[in-house]
Structure 1
Amino acid sequence: MDLNQQRDDPHGVQRLLDILRRQQDASSSSAAPPSNPFASASQPEADAHASSDAAAQRRRAYASSSSAYTPAEAPFDPYAFNPFSAANPVLDAPPTVPPKKDAPRDLASLSFAESLPILSGLAADAGLMRRLRVLRTQQRELERRLAKEYQQFAATKERQYPHVKQRKEEDHRRRADALAQWDKCLQAQQHELARVGVPTFVPTTDRRKVETQRKVLAVLVDMLDDQEPS
C-alpha cells in the first residue's frame, strides 16, 4: 500500500484524472480517422457507379438479344375477335355443294314393265313416230320382196332343179339368204331405235332381249296405228 499517495492526494483527485486521461487516450486511438479522409465517402459512390454500369450493360445485352428474336406468331389477344361482328361470323357458312346429277339410265337394260312409263312419253314425240313409219315401210317392202322371190323359186324349182338333191340344196340356200337379209334389217332397226332413245333396244341376237324388244315395238306400233287417220 502506497501511503504517501494517499497523503499527497487525500481525495484521490489525481488518481481519477489519470483514469480519465487513460480512457480518453484509448478512445482516441480506436476512433482515429483513416489515412485517406475521402476513402470512406467515395467508396459507396464508386460502388453505386459500378453497379449502374453493370445494369446498363445487362439492359443493352438483353435489348440486342430481344431484337434478334422474332416470335413465331403474334401474342394472343382475347379482345381481337368479336363474335358479334359481321366480319367475324361465329360459324362459317357451309360450302355450297352442287346437286348431284343422276347417272344416265341404261335404257337397254330396262325390262318391259320398266319401259312402259317411257313409252307413254315417246308417243308424243312426232319425230320418233315418223321414224317408226319409215322403218315399218322398209320392213314391209323387204317382206314382200323376199316372199315374192321365194314364191318364184318354188314355182320353177322342179324344172330348174330336176334332181331332188340339187333342189333341196338350192332351197336351203335361198332360205338362208332370206334369213340373212332379215337379220340385217333387224339389226338396222335395233341400232336406229336405240339411237332415238327407245328402251330395251340395242343390237343383239339374244333371244330373251329380242323378245322384249318385240313387245316394246308392238306397243309403239299400236300407238302409231292410233295416230293414223281412219
Structure 2
Amino acid sequence: MNNIKNKILVLSGKGGVGKTTIAVNLALSLAISGKKTGILDVDIHGPNVPKMLGLDAAKIQSVGDLVLPVEHQSSLKVMSFGFMINEKDPVIWRGPMKHNLIKQFIENVDWGELDYLVIDFPPGTGDEQISAAQLLEKITCAVIVSTPQKVAILDSVKAIGFCRKMGIPLCGMIENMSGGMFGQGTIMKIAVENGIPYLGSLAMDGRISESGDSGEPFVSGKSGVSDSFNEMVKKIAFSCKDDRK
C-alpha cells in the first residue's frame, strides 16, 4: 500500500445507518472527479459494495501472489469479500479467520498507484475493526456516519473514542437519514461537542436507497442530493494531504 496517498475510513458505531452508501458514493465521486481511487470493503459479514456498484456478478482475478481489484466503469478499483462468496451464504467465522482475510486484502491486492483508498469498515468497535486499523497503518482520516436516532448517537460517540484511541484523525461526521421520524441536527451537536468537523447531512430519501439497490449510486446522476453530497466530498478531500494546497 506504499503507492496509496490517502486512506479514508468510513465507519459507524452501529449497523444500518447507511455507512456503505456513504463509502460507495464517496469513492465514486472521487473517481468521477478524475482522482485515482479504490474502495476496499472490509465489512466481512455484510459485503454489499459490489451490489451497490452493480458489480455483483464480477469475479476477481490474480496474477502470481497478487489479487487484482475489479474495475468499475468509472475506473474505480473495487475489492470486497462479496466477490468471493454467494450472497445468500452467511459468514460464520471466528476472529482469527477474519483477521487473516483482512490481512490478505491489505497485503496481497495490487492497487497500483492511488490518490485515495476508501475503506468501508464493519460497524462497531471490536476485534476486526482493531485488526483492520492496525494492518492499514498511516490512515489519513476517518468519516463517521450516523443517523440522528439516540441509539445511533450513543454508538457514534464510541466510534469517536475508537478512532482517538487508535490514533486515527477524524475529518468529519455525516448525519444520514436526517429529518422525518429520526429527527435532525443531533449529529452536528455531537460533532461540535467533540471538536470534529460537521460535513453535512443527507435527508431521508427513497431515491438514495433505490440507487444502491439498482447498482447505480446517486452521486453518478445530477440531482440536489448528489450536489450536496459532492460538497461533503470536497471537505473530505481538503482534509487529505493530496488536496490541501
Is the pair's TM-score, using the shorter chain for normalization, greater than 0.5?
A: no
Answer with 1 or 2: which has the greater Rg.
Answer: 1
- Range of TM-score over shorter length: under 0.3
| Structure with the larger strand share | 2
Higher relative contact order structure (alpha carbons within 8 Å, sequence separation ≥ 6)? 2
Give TM-score, length-normalised by structure 2. Answer: 0.21
